[in-house]
Structure 1
């Protein structure tokens, strides 16, 4: 796996870990959602008036798949590598635009 592949996978992994339910009181599961699809569905557990938000029991994608937060889907490693390989040198794949775009300049 080349450096571009590793960087892209690291970014996806960090996005999947972003957010998370925390110990807060709740009435419904909807109150506990952190906005991240990849890390699963948080839930409200406990008796009414004493319930707390709990993190998801499992992530949306199995261990051998990569989570795509933007498209809310799980990708095989082969698909990820195909996306990376399709872009010409000096460009990166943009999930937002669904195409290869010029690499942003470094600050």
Structure 2
């Protein structure tokens, strides 16, 4: 009986989460945000639960535009470039170059 009570308490605590609700189709699980990905309805019929999106809609190299539901290229000047020690990023050349002597 104590285990059943604990399970029921957990269900009630999670009831507000999109991932703890029962569902019939993927549309039942959507949280309204396109950028964070498409949530899924998974499980056996009659016992399906909402699952979070496996990944965001846009890669880390793209900016998500929620209103337009598109991924946009980031401004190249805002991308962080990592160069080897002794090199620096050259926007003009579009690559890492040796640091000029001081």
After TM superposition, the score normalised by the length of structure 1 is 0.52
Match of 1:59 in 2: 56
Higher helix share: 1
Bigger relative contact order (CA 8 A; separation at least 6): 1
1:19-30 equivalences in 2 (<5 Å): 21-30=18-27
Residue 22 of structure 1 and its aligned partner are, at CA, apart by 2.2
Cα offset for 1:76?
1.4
Structure showing greater radius of gyration is 2
Residue in 2 aligned with 1:34? 31
Instruction: Map Cα deviations across residues 51-86 of structure 1 (whole Å, 9 max, x no partner).
Output: 10001111100111110101111111118x7xxxxx
Query: RMSD over aligned Cα, in angstroms?
Result: 1.8
Residues 18-39 of structure 1 deviation map (CA, whole Å, 9 limit, x = unaligned): xx83210111111001111101
Query: Would you say how many aligned residue pairs link Structure 1 and Structure 2?
Result: 61
* Structure 1 unpaired stretches of 5+: 1-19, 82-107
2:37 aligned with 1:43, yes or no? no
What is the rounded CA distance, in whole Å, between the counterparts of 2:49 and 2:19 in structure 1?
A: 9
Structure 2 regions of 5+ residues with no counterpart?
Answer: 1-16, 79-102
TM-score w.r.t. length of structure 2: 0.55
